[in-house]
């Protein structure tokens, strides 16, 4: 994600970063090769870039990291487990540290329109894969209850017609287009995805 690259690009190499729920560690590998002090953790992967471990009970002492990335992960947790995940991420952050979290919005504009027409919402994946999918306003309540301060909320990827979606896919990868997507002044409640920068 261009926005995450932008943040990481501005910090010095001594800043300790955690990528929580990093999968095989693609971002971890990328940032390590840039000289960043980054660790990945994932429940299902263990390799030279990733520690195998549970985000709900991480093997790190309190205040271990300056920045925690939690990208496209929260929706994989059941709604009842999401507060525990946020609490654990907060625990491993240093005071004043940042949590960068991407959150899908079950009630994005196209989903609301489809619900009005058919009674069905547009999910990011099958409910078995993403049991924690919910409207963005509920996630905002979760953030508020966690005690994090919201520094930024960026609306990402306004939902669009299939034809526009094809053009969008062709243009993704262009730094200029990605900057436009990440900085556009659209209504975040209408967007499929939001990125939050939270401060402990």
Q: pLDDT digits over 95-134, tens only? A: 999 999 999 987 777 767 776 788 887 777 777 887 889 9
Q: Which residues of the chain fall short of a pLDDT of 70?
A: 1, 111, 115, 157-185
Q: How far apart are CA 57 and CA 96, in angstroms?
A: 21
SS3 136: helix
pTM of the predicted model over 0.75: yes
Residue pLDDT, tens place only, 89-104:
999 999 999 999 999 9
CATH number of residue 54's parent domain: 3.40.50.150
pLDDT in the model for residue 1: 67
Cβ neighbors of 50 (< 8 A, separation 6 or more) are: 22, 23, 24, 25, 28, 40, 41, 42
- Give the residue numbers spanning the domain of 155: 2-199
Domain count, the chain: 1
pLDDT in the model for residue 167: 56
pLDDT in the model for residue 173: 62
Q: What is the CA radius of gyration of the chain?
A: 17
Q: Residue 115's Cα: distance from chain center in Å?
A: 25
Going by C-alpha positions, the residue among 43, 108, 28, 96 that lies closest to residue 65 is 96
Please say whether the dihedral angle defined by the alpha carbons of residues 83, 28, 149 and 110, taken in this order, is positive or negative.
negative
Q: Residue 67's Cα: distance from chain center in Å?
A: 13
pLDDT in the model for residue 180: 55
pLDDT in the model for residue 161: 46
Q: Residue 54's Cα: distance from chain center in Å?
A: 17
């Amino acid at each position: 994600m261009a926005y995450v690259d932008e943040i990481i690009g501005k910090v010095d190499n001594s800043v300790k970063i955690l990528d929580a729920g990093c999968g095989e560690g693609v971002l971890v590998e990328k940032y390590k090769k840039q000289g960043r002090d980054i660790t990945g953790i994932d429940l299902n992967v263990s390799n030279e870039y990733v520690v195998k471990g549970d985000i709900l009970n991480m093997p790190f002492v309190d205040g271990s990291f300056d920045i925690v990335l939690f990208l496209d992960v929260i929706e994989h947790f059941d709604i009842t487990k999401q507060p525990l995940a946020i609490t654990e991420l907060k625990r491993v952050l240093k005071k004043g540290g940042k949590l960068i979290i991407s959150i899908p919005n079950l009630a994005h504009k196209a989903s609301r329109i489809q619900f009005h027409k058919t009674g069905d919402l547009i999910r990011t994946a099958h409910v078995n894969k993403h049991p924690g999918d919910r409207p963005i306003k509920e996630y905002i309540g979760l953030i508020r209850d966690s005690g994090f301060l919201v520094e930024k909320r960026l609306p990402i990827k306004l939902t669009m017609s299939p034809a526009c979606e094809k053009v969008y896919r062709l243009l993704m990868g262009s730094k200029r287009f990605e900057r436009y997507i990440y900085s556009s002044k659209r209504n975040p409640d209408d967007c499929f995805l939001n990125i939050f920068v939270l401060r402990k």
